[in-house]
Chains A and B, each alone.
Chain A
Amino acid sequence: MTTAGGLTCRELVELVTDYLENRLSVPARASFEEHLASCNGCQAYLEQMRLTLRALGRLPEERLSGQAREAMLIAFRDWRAGRA
C-alpha cells in the first residue's frame, strides 16, 4: 500500500535516471525505494531500463580497417621524423 503524498508511478519514471546515477537526495531516494517496493509496474520499468542499458553496452564494435590502421602508423612515423 502507498502512503498519501508518496510518489506516483508517473513521477517515479521521471526520476529513474537520477536514481541510477545516484543523484537523488536521501529523502527522495527513500520515497523512490518505498514506492518501488510495492509497485510491480515500476519494478518492471526499472528492470527494462537496466536491460536496455546492458544491451546498449553490448552493441558490437566497429573496427578500424587494416589499411586505415596502417595509414595511421605511417602518419605517426612522418610526425616523428618531422620533429627529430
Chain B
Amino acid sequence: MSDDAQLIAALRRGDEVAFADIVDRWGPGLLRVARMYVPSHAVAEEVVQETWIAVLRGLDRFEGRSPLRTWVFGILLNLARTHGRRERRSLPFAALRRRFEDRGGEAAVDPERFQGRGDERPGWWALPPARWADPDERLQAAETRAVLAAAIDGLPVRQREALVLRDVLGLSAEETCTVLGTTDGNQRVLLHRARAKVRATLEQHLSGGGAAA
C-alpha cells in the first residue's frame, strides 16, 4: 500500500495522530496559499479550518486519482478564492492588477536593456545584470524578505498562484497543474513571468537601485 493509501486508510479509521500530523505538516503551506487571497492571518486560519472540515466530509468519496495533498490544496484554493472575492473586492490594487494581467505578452527583462538594431550586437546585453555581492547574507536580510514578499503580492493573481505553489511551497509541476486546473504549458508561462518579475525586483533592490546596500 502506498504512503498515501495508508494515510487515507488511517484517517478513515479515525486515527487522530495521523490527522494531527498532516494538519501540522501541510498547515504552513495551506496558510500561505490562503493568505494570497485574504487580508489577515486570522481569516487565512478560518479558510484552513473550513478546508479540513470539507476534507473530512469528502474523505469517504475521495477516489485517490490525485495525491491526497493535491486534493486538499485544491479544496483550499477554491475556498480561498471564494473568500477573496468577498473580502478583497474593495482593495484599490485589484483593478490595477487585473489590467496588468490582461496585458498579455510580457518580456522577462526590460527591452531597453538590450542593444538595438543599429548597435554592434543587436539583442545582446547593453546593460547586463551584475553579480550580487554576498548574496546569501543579503537575501536573508529582513529587508530583502520584505521586498520579496511585496514582489509576490504585486504579481497578477494567476502568476502569483503558480509561483507560490512551485517556488515557495515546492510543489511539483504536475501537482501545481492539478491544483490550479491548468495545463503544463500554461503553468510554465505563468511561472516564467512571475519569476522574471520577482528577479527584477530583487535586482533593483540588491544591485544598488538607490537602496542602501
A71 to B20, CA, bound (A): 11
Total interface residues on A, CB under 8 Å, equals: 48
Most chain B beta-carbon neighbours within 10 Å: one of A2, A11, A18, A83: A83
Please encode chain B, from 162 to 178, with 1 for each CB lying within 8 Å of some chain A CB and 0 for all others. 01000110100100000
Contact at B109–A10, with CB atoms within 8 Å?
A: yes
A interface vs B, CB < 8 Å?
A: 2, 8-11, 13-14, 16-18, 21, 23, 39-42, 44-45, 47-49, 51-65, 68-69, 71-73, 75-77, 79-80, 83-84
B interface vs A, CB < 8 Å?
A: 14, 16, 19-20, 23-24, 27-28, 31-32, 35, 41, 44-45, 48-49, 52-53, 56-57, 107-109, 111, 114, 121-125, 128-132, 135, 139-140, 144-145, 148-149, 152, 163, 167-168, 170, 173, 188, 191-192, 195-196, 198-199, 202-203
Chain B residues near A61 (CB-CB < 8 A):
28, 32
Q: Within the complex, what minimum Cβ distance (angstroms) separates B130 from chain A?
A: 6
A13 to B170, CA, bound (A): 23
By secondary structure, the B interface counts as: helix
Q: Within the complex, what minimum Cβ distance (angstroms) separates B61 from chain A?
A: 13
| Chain A residue nearest in CB terms to B26 | A64
Chain B residues near A83 (CB-CB < 8 A):
14
Contact at B122–A59, with CB atoms within 8 Å?
A: no
A83 to B202, CA, bound (A): 52
Contact at A62–B111, with CB atoms within 8 Å?
A: no
Most chain B beta-carbon neighbours within 10 Å: one of A11, A58, A59: A59
| Chain B residue nearest in CB terms to A47 | B131
Contact at B124–A59, with CB atoms within 8 Å?
A: no
A62 to B43, CA, bound (A): 13
A60 to B35, CA, bound (A): 14
| Chain A residue nearest in CB terms to B202 | A52
A44 to B41, CA, bound (A): 37
Contact at A76–B131, with CB atoms within 8 Å?
A: no
Chain A residues near B168 (CB-CB < 8 A):
56-57, 59
Contact at A72–B167, with CB atoms within 8 Å?
A: no
A62 to B33, CA, bound (A): 11
Q: Within the complex, what minimum Cβ distance (angstroms) separates B126 from chain A?
A: 9
What are 26 inter-chain pairs, A to B, with CB distance below 8 A? A8-B121, A9-B125, A10-B109, A13-B196, A16-B195, A21-B188, A41-B129, A44-B129, A47-B132, A48-B129, A48-B199, A51-B132, A51-B139, A52-B202, A54-B139, A55-B144, A57-B170, A58-B139, A59-B145, A61-B32, A62-B41, A63-B28, A64-B31, A73-B20, A76-B14, A80-B16
